[in-house]
Structure 1
Amino acid sequence: MSLYRCASTCRLRLHAGLTRLADQSSCSSAACSIPPRLGYVRRPYSSQHEGDPRLEDLDTEIHDKYALIREHYATPKHPIVLAHGLLGFAELSLAGSWLPPIHYWRGITEALRANGIEVITATVPPSGSIEQRAAKLGEYIAEVAQGKDVNIIAHSMGGLDARYMISQLQPNNVKVCSLTTVASPHWGSAFADFLLDEIGPERLPHFYKFIEGVGMDTGAFQQLTQKYMTNTFNAKTPDDPSVRYFSYGARMDVPPLFSPFRLSHRIMTQNEGPNDGLVSVASSKWGNYKGTLVGVSHLDLINWTNRFRFTMRKLMGQGPTFNAIAFYLDIADMLAKEDL
């Protein structure tokens, strides 16, 4: 189904609207979805996951396929559930009615809805355990979808929540047709291992007490290590054969001087190889791996692109190489062509 359904005037207005959404850059804050994870495992990234049949697909690097919004996208027949990552949210109001709310899926929800897709933006405990977040995800889908089959698109830790919900919880009144994960740490993260190692076991209880003191859960942090994800979570969370699994990864070059990803990118490059600043390409692979987005950070993936970087590229005559809105519209198009 075309993104542009009405007369030519309406089509032009819709296209202009989506273009404005796509061109908006977002907050460069790292508060959106930064997953700290645990225990520091040093091993050559090239051999970490050898032998796993899920990772035998040939890597496909995607350079500028999603630089611009196309004129036409097919529309999937089932609603899309957007599942956020660690420390994420659907909508966050920091100053009541004084300032507009901050959206995790910046401009993405509106663009999908403009293409005739029913979109459900789920909200789960920001730093809860996978089990807590998965239970809330199932409850939310059951309440909002009202028995409709759904496709889930999940960013970062949201992919782990969805996998656990599908495999272990199997909530009533929830039927998932497909799960597409975007930079989800299916095999854990070396940066999580590094952070917990730096904190140290003697200081960890005090760290958790502080986090809990500001009203946050701590269950997520110890579950995102390479050891836990590889040996425990994946072993007890088999795929559902009735669900289609797709995944995307991303990698960025050396982050600029003031990037929040400078340390994490270096640690992960040394231990896991190419990464988006928080999740490695190797860890992103699950099910049908669709490819690696090149030159894209973990926050770029949800349209939280650094405004200064975007402006400087424009001044230097360099066009955009990645547009998050075009990317998610293309995922929806892919789902439609898979009859989902």
Structure 2
Amino acid sequence: MIRPIVHARLCSLRTSRRAIFTPYARRAFSNAHARKEDPRLQDIGRSLKDEYAVVRDEYDTPKHTVVLAHGLLGFDELRLAGQFLPGIQYWRGIKDALAEKGIEVIVAAVPASGSIEARAMRLAEDIAQKAQGKAVNIIAGTEVVLDNRTQLNDCSGLDSRYMISRLKPGNVRVLSLTTIATPHRGSAFADYMFDTIGPRQIRRLYRIMEYFGLETEAFSQLTRTYMKEEFNPKTPDVEGIKYYSYGASLEPSSWSVFALSHSIIKQREGGINDGLVSVASSQWGDYKGTLVGVSHLDLINWTNRLKWFFWELTGSKRNFNAVAFYLDIADMLAKEGL
């Protein structure tokens, strides 16, 4: 169901993008300059710049099963050519790396779209079926960017929070939830999309999505107003469950897929972000720190290897390895006794 959406150009900016892509939006921002001028950077917690550049030799193994939950429009495995070719793994290399360290891993499968409530119900059912009563630690990942016009925020952290707090499934025992670049307080880019596209075009987009069998409720749930006034007040943390979170910051070049969304969030929220979610919105529970120079695609190991090849040719070193990052999360869970 993903491929037709690309052709339908979901959230298309064909006309509006040229109009609003101002010189300010094209500007590439400097990390060094931002650190000197922006006092809000004191709120980013621990700055994680090179900690996950390479995989270490040793990682502790958590006692309990790890559940990997994908974001909005994500999938566990996508097969574009049926059984004739290998499927595309959402968690590219991450699941296998965790398993090689002796960690029991469950990849949760939930609808690619739909309301937080519907996805949370499916998440609970999937964990109950696959975990068979075992206690689990949930790691909620990010979304997929389908093309340079289709950018959607992570929802799996919100699905998990709703499941834990509101559904309270008796056959699912959650010990911890770790969210990665989740818009716990909504996203200014979601606000922008609704403001720019307008009600008439929104209805048209929804009809296109529904034609391809996708539900549409989740998109309006990512706005800052909805999160502030509806979701967060009604979805408190559950005592006894540990909540961890990470954010990410990116200063994209003018030709980056995240250039437009980054500038919009920076203008509207006034803080650093990873191109889709601000650091302030990512923070929930025990905030473990901000990944510096890391995009949403980097976070799920979808970054083009060619990018790093040319990056290293310039004399720069690779500063982030998603496999090392997830192994370190597992190591953190182990050290917490989970």
- Using structure 2 for the length normalisation, give the TM-score: 0.82
Per-residue displacement from partner, 1:193-236 (whole Å, max 9, x unpaired)?
00111111133222211110111110111100000011110000
Quote the residue 2:267 is aligned against.
Answer: 270
Are residue 87 (structure 1) and residue 101 (structure 2) matched?
no
Stretches of structure 2 lacking an aligned partner (at least 5 in a row): 12-41, 142-153
The C-alpha deviation readout for 1:22-81, integer Å capped at 9, x for no partner, is xxxxxxxx98xxx97xxxxxxxxxxxxxxxxxxx97611110000011110000000000
My pick for the range that moved more, 301-310 or 283-292, is 301-310
1:97 lines up with 2:122 in the alignment = no
Which residue is equivalent to 1:21? none
Partner of 1:315: 313
Residues 251 and 295 in structure 1, CA contact (< 8 A), matched pair in contact too: yes
Cα distance in 2 for residues equivalent to 1:242 and 1:108? 28
- 1:311: Cα distance to partner? 1.4
Bigger helix share: 2
- For 1:86, the aligned partner's letter is L
For residue 172 of structure 1, report the CA deviation from its aligned partner. Answer: 2.1
Kept in 2, the 8 Å contact 1:264–1:278? The answer is: yes
Relative distance call for 1:311 and 1:72 in structure 2 (3 A) is same
SS of residue matched to 2:200 = coil
Equivalent in the alignment of 2:15: none
The one-letter code matched in structure 2 to 1:80 is: V
Give the RMSD, CA atoms, in angstroms: 1.7
Please say if 1:214 is aligned against 2:200. Answer: no
Picking from 278, 288, 291, the partner of 2:289 is 291
Contact 1:142 1:172 in 2 (8 A): no
Equivalent residue letter for 2:184 = H
1:116–1:244 distance in 2 versus 1, CA, 3 Å: same
Are 1:255 and 1:265, in contact at CA under 8 Å, matched by a contact in 2? Answer: no
Match of 1:122 in 2: 108
Does 2:159 align with 1:173? no
Q: What corresponds to 1:196 in structure 2? A: 194
Local SS of the residue matching 2:138:
strand
Secondary structure at the aligned position of 2:56 is classed as coil
| Count of residue pairs brought into register by the alignment | 288
What letter corresponds to residue 88 of structure 1 in structure 2?
G
Letter paired with 2:333: L
* Map of 1:66 onto structure 2: 52
Deviations 1:154-211 (A, max 9, x none): 0131100000000000112100000000000100000000011111113322221111
Q: 4+ runs of 1 displaced by more than 4 Å?
A: none
Q: What's the CA shift for 1:306? A: 2.5
Change in Cα spacing, 1:57 to 1:79, as seen in structure 2 (3 Å) is: farther
Give unmatched runs, 5+ long, in structure 1. 1-29, 37-55
1: CA distance, partners of 2:224 / 2:253: 23
